[in-house]
Amino acid sequence: QSVLTQPPSASGTPGQRVTISCSGSSSNIGSNYVYWYQQLPGTAPKLLIYRNNQRPSGVPDRFSGSKSGTSASLAISGLRSEDEADYYCASWDDSLSGWVFGGGTKLTVL
């Protein structure tokens, strides 16, 4: 059971906009930044969004992040086949003094 809660799956057709939610608590998302990682099949994770809504260089602006209270969301617009991957949210947890991850959301592009 992960500390952060994500839907196990999401799907969309090419060109669509999809969102992935991440729910936490006051000790993690509620008081710290949220990060998102993309893991393509058979590869290591890659940083997608940092500090709630910032994109590292090289990440397309089709990817955006937001946070409100103890929840966060990742939005992907103009969905492409290469976006098919697992997506994880993460945050520091003050009570645990450690990083916590969501269980991951498998995105399927239909």
Partner 1 sequence: EVQLVESGGGLVKPGGSLRLSCAASGFTFSSYSMNWVRQAPGKGLEWVSSISSSSSYIYYADSVKGRFTSSRDNAKNSLYVQMNSLRAEDTAVYYCARGSGDGGYDYVDYWGQGTLVTVSS
The binding site for partner 1 (CB under 8 A) comprises 2, 33, 35, 37, 39, 43-47, 50-51, 56, 86, 88, 90, 92, 96-104
Angle 90-88-79 from CA coordinates, rounded to 5° = 135
Count CB neighbours of 62 within 10 A: 14
Closer CB to partner 1, 12 or 103, in the complex: 103
Nearer to partner 1, 89 or 109 (CB): 89
- Report the nearest approach of partner 1 to the CB of residue 13 (Å): 26
Contact 7, 21 (CB under 8 A): yes
